[in-house]
């Protein structure tokens, strides 16, 4: 199987999240030695933590790269020391950082970047992907919408939704439905910040998900009682 984690942070070594990372834990619990695991993180300060996180997994490849959606070869990322030590809100969108830390001094760095399709092509080198988690701090929608769905068959997509506008959620859900996906509940994030879509035709879920974009986050767990898993 192929697992891809885009925006891995410090994995399950961040004390501020009580050493939890839903997708990291999912990978560790569900992957076998013959599987391939690709982990991407833009912030170089977290790479050593990710290496420590996966020290017992020889089948993991960790990349210090940014994901672009306008074909930039390098991206500027923004962060603040108030978000130390693992800089969970580090983002290529300065507005995203300012939203969380409006009064903080902002610092920046530049990092090599690839589009999501280039990453699949050049690093993953597989057109079939079993599990994809997208947590890219402010560009989740852009990254997902730019995936070449005709080329890459992704069986399960977990994408952070809490920063999306209602219009972005509506457009994303319709886009995924049209490409053969069905909403199946919360994704792998331990805080339930992700939606999970699977490459299956579940008509009830597709119908109900058309209303998901208007549901406030605190009510999504109740909405999920009505869907088929």
Tens digit of each residue's pLDDT (9 = 90 or more) over 153-198: 999 999 999 999 999 999 999 999 999 999 999 999 999 999 999 9
Q: How far apart are the first and last CA of the chain?
A: 21
- Domain enclosing residue 154, as ranges: 2-226
Strand order in the sheet with 66-68: 66-68, 107-115, 74-79
Considering its fold, how many domains does the chain have in total?
1
pLDDT band with cut points at 50, 70 and 90 for residue 80? very high
- Using the predicted structure, report yes or no on whether residue 71 has a pLDDT greater than 90: no
Q: Tell me, what CATH number does 16's domain have?
A: 3.40.50
User: Band of the pLDDT at 86, cuts 50, 70, 90?
Assistant: confident
Proportion of the chain above pLDDT 70, given as a percent: 100
Do 77 and 66 form a contact (C-beta atoms < 8 A)?
A: yes
Sign, CA dihedral 176-182-164-144, equals: negative
């Amino acid at each position: 199987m192929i697992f891809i984690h885009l925006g891995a942070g410090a994995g399950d070594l961040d004390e501020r999240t009580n050493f939890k990372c839903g997708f990291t834990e999912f990978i560790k619990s569900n992957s076998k030695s013959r599987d391939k695991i690709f982990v991407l993180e833009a912030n170089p300060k977290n790479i050593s933590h990710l290496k420590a996180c996966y020290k017992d997994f020889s089948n993991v490849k960790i990349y210090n790269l940014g994901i672009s959606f306008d074909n930039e070869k390098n991206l500027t990322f923004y962060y603040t020391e108030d978000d130390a030590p693992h800089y969970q809100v580090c983002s290529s969108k300065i507005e995203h950082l300012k939203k969380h830390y409006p009064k903080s001094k902002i610092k920046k760095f530049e990092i090599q970047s690839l589009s999501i399709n280039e990453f699949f092509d050049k690093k993953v080198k597989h057109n079939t992907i079993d599990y994809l988690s997208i947590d890219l701090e402010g560009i989740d929608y852009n990254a997902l919408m730019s995936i070449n769905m005709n080329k890459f068959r992704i069986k399960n997509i977990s994408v952070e939704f809490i920063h999306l506008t209602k219009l972005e959620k509506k457009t994303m859900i319709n886009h995924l439905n049209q490409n053969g996906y069905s909403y199946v509940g919360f994704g792998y994030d331990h805080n339930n910040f992700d939606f999970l879509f699977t490459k299956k035709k579940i008509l009830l879920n597709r119908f109900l998900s058309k209303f998901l974009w208007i549901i406030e986050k605190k009510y999504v767990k109740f909405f999920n009682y009505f869907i088929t898993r």
